[in-house]
A and B are shown apart, each in its own frame.
Chain A
Amino acid sequence: MLRLLGFVLGAAILTIAQDTKKEEIVLPTSAEDLATGKKLYDGSCQLCHGPQGDGGKGANLAVPKLARAATDSDLARIIEVGIPGTEMPGAYHMVKKEITQVAAYVKTFAKFTPEKVPGDPAKGRAVYLGKGGCQACHTTTGADGLLVGGLTGPDLSTIGGRRSAAHLRESIVDPSASIPDYFVDTTAVLANGQRINGRRLTEDTFYLVIHDYQGRNHVIDRMSAREIIKDRKKTPMPSYKGKLSADELDNLIAFLVSLRETK
């Protein structure tokens, strides 16, 4: 009888807190358990965390130590109940055994040799601030601990903990490959023919909010707009393919990988 999303429609947030008392959870180790864990992971998790756990929309799990899960029990609990306030849902559909199988499989990612990041972060920082011109559109943490940079693109202050080097490389050389929902390029053609172009901040049945590339917000009545056009391949982020040397690209990626939560 599951109803709907979040608030109840549907898809439903499940109340499973009664079974989440803090007990020590021991993860299985057999090949059979890991094989089942892989299948479950491929079905439920890989879409966001990547086939090899190296991140995408979700966190990079192919790291020696998971930032939010210091122990196996923490990991299992996060899989079970999700992380409130984030897009990480709870695996309400899995029984305890399956949760431990998935957790065991997730742990195997950490055993992979970390992806080689050959560049020099200090040199990469210079590319970021200089030739790359990245700060015009992206924010990072400045010396005073405050964010510094432009607001056109996503914040990068902890990007190294959230995205793999491979994902970052793709985003730099082919930025249109993966565009978040709130960065979809949208053009509204108004009744008077005026065109407003920018990224979509929000949209509902009656209104559309576009943040244009000059930094202005436009609240548009969809019912009176002549046309609304979305280009899921268009992004103001330029491709740096051929614009940066191989060394500069490696250095820039090494710098981005070094940007993590400092706590």
Chain B
Amino acid sequence: MRIPVLCLLPFAAVLAQVPYERILNARSEPHNWLTYSGTYDGQRYSALSQINSGNVGNLRVQWVQQSGHSESTQTSPIIVDGVMYITEPPNVVKALDARSGTVIWSYRKTIPDDLRLCCGRVNRGVAVLNDLVYYGSIDAHLIALDAKTGRLRWDTTIDDYKLGYSSSGAPLAIKDKIVTGIGGGEYGIRGFLDAYDAKTGKRVWRTHTIPGKGEPGNETWEGDSWKIGAAPTWVTGSYDPENNLVIWGTGNPGPDWNGDYRKGDNLYSDSFIALDADTGKLKWYFQFTPHDVHDWDATQVPVLIDGTFRGQPKKMVATANRNAFYYVLDRPTGKFLHARAYAKQTWATGHDDNGRPLVIAGTTPTIDGNLVYPSLAGGTNWFSPSWSPKHNLFYVPVREEGAYYFKGTAEFKPGTLFVGGGQRANPAEEPFGAIRALETDSGSMRWEFPLKTQASAGILSTAGDLVFSGTGQGDVFALHAATGKLLWRFKGGGGVIAAPVTYMLDGKQFVALAVGRALFVFGL
């Protein structure tokens, strides 16, 4: 259902087309924010510097867009030539005038009331390509809307929500296709990554994240467990145009906490997979947590970096994984280069030469509970990290807490929870968080800004020597990118579970971030 805006907007911005080439070269137009992470490399870094370490203390709210819904807003806005596209839970897409916050159009998807969700009716944003806006709805549909009017152009069912499939991540537009992941890791789904024809909505390829019978990797699942082994793809990945690789993170194997049902490494759960963008063919994979029994999804945004590794130029993929280790991989091949813990962990002594973790015996969940660090929410979670080419630092939102993991029975019934255990908090500690800046090649910590509670928001870094983020207790803040010194803060009054973006209009830079149930836009 579309909600018409009942007035003409004489000041409505010019709505330009966004061909693939513009997204490919998004770095050259930093006044826009054309794809989920700003650029295909997943860096969430902006070259804008009008707001900088010298003046950020003067940052003030410019406008606010309230959602009117009870669920938290996790959207990462897209900004194209003066128009901002956002999603709001549980089922709304809006186009806003990026100068004033005025609503240009609003689209509301009709969704069923018997959804099968682990974690709420949330959504993290849209993709744009040419004259369409693409939206993955929580009932596992991929939807194309006209960018100027919000009118529905096509609506494709990705998979059956009644079986536990859902969509919450922003799609990724590449060439003439829309790539989208899927959620449902607690419902015994078989995960996949899909690409759809951007004009028609017809599916072009589907690559399962769990190999089928006869395919390499299927032997890492005992019996038929591969059919219901999860490995979802619920956070937006990255794209390496030079190698034509879609690099995407996969989630936990299922059932989450009882590995007895799925003996083996459980490929390609908890992995980065690199697929040919045209065919979906698997080019390489790297599994961070083989046979995971702690729910440590590897769905963090892969950060593609052309930098220096041990003194040599290197094309890398870097990530701070939920399992509390920071990893550096070789981008063309997926080969392991380095790992180092960035948060407290008690499950591995390190990694072998191939990057396989050396797991400490006795760290699997037990029926009575077994204290392991990090907790199931991880050393970090899905929130975007950021990488600054200016400072050569990787910024990660950190959660410092352990948990008593316990395992239970899991009975598979389509469309119902299939988890086999859980966790409870460690009463002997007060969890906390931090924003940490890691050196790109070593992962060693350059600085940290401590948070009272576990980090919950993504990070934006800018050429203005700034790092923006927020807290689950409703604060938004800016730190100096080189030192971590606090430079600006704002009490937004609602938990921040989204990632900031920045853009520039009429010569003025803005920073946008969803706080609680509203989107706040700041400027000088």
Which residues of A come within 8 Å of B, CB atoms?
Answer: 1-5, 7-16, 18-19, 39-40, 42-44, 47, 91-95, 97-98, 203-206, 222-223
Q: Which residues in B have their C-beta under 8 angstroms from that of A203?
A: 452
Q: Which residues in A have their C-beta under 8 angstroms from that of B119?
A: 1-4, 8, 10, 12-14
Partner of B252, one of A1, A11, A206, A222: A1
Partner of B381, one of A7, A9, A92, A98: A9
Do the beta carbons of B376 and A11 come within 8 Å of each other? Answer: yes
**What does the 1/0 interface line of B465-482 toward A look like (CB < 8 Å)?**
000000111110100000
Do the beta carbons of A204 and B453 come within 8 Å of each other? Answer: yes
Do the beta carbons of A92 and B497 come within 8 Å of each other? Answer: no
User: What separation, in Å, do the CA atoms of A40 and B376 have in the docked complex?
Assistant: 19
Binds A, one of B10-18, B129-137, B352-360, B419-427: B419-427
Partner of A43, one of B252, B404, B410: B404
Do the beta carbons of A93 and B456 come within 8 Å of each other? Answer: no
Do the beta carbons of A94 and B122 come within 8 Å of each other? Answer: no
Q: Which residues in B have their C-beta under 8 angstroms from that of A7?
A: 71-72, 120, 472, 495, 497
**What does the 1/0 interface line of B408-424 toward A look like (CB < 8 Å)?**
11110000110111111
Which residues of B come within 8 Å of A, CB atoms?
Answer: 71-72, 74, 114-120, 122, 183-186, 230, 232, 234, 251-252, 256-257, 295, 297, 299, 366-369, 375-377, 381-382, 404, 406, 408-411, 416-417, 419-424, 427, 450-454, 456, 471-475, 477, 486, 489, 491, 495, 497
CB contact under 8 A between A44 and B424, given known A2-B376, A205-B473, A205-B475? yes
Partner of B409, one of A5, A98, A206: A98
User: What separation, in Å, do the CA atoms of A40 and B422 have in the docked complex?
Assistant: 11
User: What separation, in Å, do the CA atoms of A10 and B74 have in the docked complex?
Assistant: 13
CB contact under 8 A between A14 and B417, given known A1-B183, A2-B376? yes
Do the beta carbons of B452 and A204 come within 8 Å of each other? Answer: yes
Which single residue of chain B is at the shortest CB-CB distance from A7?
B72
User: What separation, in Å, do the CA atoms of A42 and B404 have in the docked complex?
Assistant: 12
Which single residue of chain B is at the shortest CB-CB distance from A39?
B367
Do the beta carbons of A93 and B377 come within 8 Å of each other? Answer: no
Chain B CB within 10 Å — which of A1, A2, A204 has the most? Answer: A1
Partner of B295, one of A2, A8, A18: A2
User: What separation, in Å, do the CA atoms of A42 and B367 have in the docked complex?
Assistant: 9
User: What separation, in Å, do the CA atoms of A39 and B407 have in the docked complex?
Assistant: 11
Q: Which residues in B have their C-beta under 8 angstroms from that of A13?
A: 119-120
Min distance, Cβ B519 to any Cβ of chain A, angstroms:
16
User: What separation, in Å, do the CA atoms of A203 and B477 have in the docked complex?
Assistant: 17
Do the beta carbons of B368 and A43 come within 8 Å of each other? Answer: yes
Do the beta carbons of B381 and A40 come within 8 Å of each other? Answer: no
